Amino acid sequence: MAKSPYKLPNVFVGCPYGGRFKFAQFKTSLERLPFRFFYADTRLQTKHLLEILRKYIATADFCVFDISTYNPNVALEIGLADGLGVEYYILLNRTLAAGVPADIQGIQRIEYSNYKDFDERNGLVPQLVRFLRAGSKLADFIPQFVDFARIGFQPIEFFVSRSSLSAAFD
């Protein structure tokens, strides 16, 4: 649940902003969810970048990090969230990923392959919502605001990729 029960949860998003990663589509998909999203490039400040990231991550209700195309800044943000004890989720677009960095391979992740809301098996939003409803502190919050019929899927059980499951037991 959000730190204040009458507010939407604040979510820090760590992701690449260019290259093969389709930031505009990614952001548009996430904006369909009932959360307030914050990105590292939101506004110019006269503070050290690491302090800005620490503030964003520490005040977030949870974080999502997309590691689809390896980006050292995103890896730093994951480490910062982990060190601060903030709840976070890793996203991976299977169509973009060449592989998962070794130090992140054992961490479960939410895998998707497109930004289509109606694709319940592979769409970013359905996969993220399904996971949050299954195992997050926000589970009670999401059904109140997300119109699942409108975005075109029926919630089903939590999806764990075969690769992340085998990595967890290796």
Q: Where are the domains of the chain?
A: 10-169
CATH class of this structure's domain 10-169: alpha beta
Question: For residue 60, what pLDDT is reported?
Answer: 93
Beta strands 36-39 and 62-66 are: unpaired
Closest CA to 108 of 33, 167, 35: 167
The pTM (predicted TM-score) of the whole model is 0.74
Question: For residue 64, what pLDDT is reported?
Answer: 94
Question: For residue 33, what pLDDT is reported?
Answer: 85
Confirm if 29 and 79 have CB atoms less than 8 A apart.
no
In 3-state terms the chain splits into helix, strand, coil percentages (rounded to 5) of 35, 15, 50
Residue 24: what residue type?
A
Name 10's bridge partners: 36
Question: For residue 151, what pLDDT is reported?
Answer: 47
Question: For residue 169, what pLDDT is reported?
Answer: 39
Q: Is 169 helix (H, G, I), strand (E, B) or coil?
A: helix
For the stretch 7-28, pLDDT in tens is 788 999 999 888 888 889 999 9
Structure confidence at residue 1 as a pLDDT band (50, 70, 90) = very low
Q: How far apart are the two ends of the chain, measured CA to CA in Å?
A: 34
Positive or negative: CA dihedral 51, 131, 126, 161: positive
Residue with tokens 């926000």: 138
* pLDDT higher than threshold 80 for residue 80: yes
For the stretch 29-78, pLDDT in tens is 888 888 889 888 656 667 788 888 999 999 999 999 999 888 888 999 99
CA angle 95, 22, 142 (to 5 degrees): 85
Question: For residue 77, what pLDDT is reported?
Answer: 94
Residue, of 95 and 134, whose pLDDT is higher: 95
For the stretch 107-162, pLDDT in tens is 888 888 888 766 777 788 888 887 777 765 555 555 444 454 444 444 433 334 44
* pLDDT higher than threshold 70 for residue 167: no
The length of the chain, given as a count of residues? 170
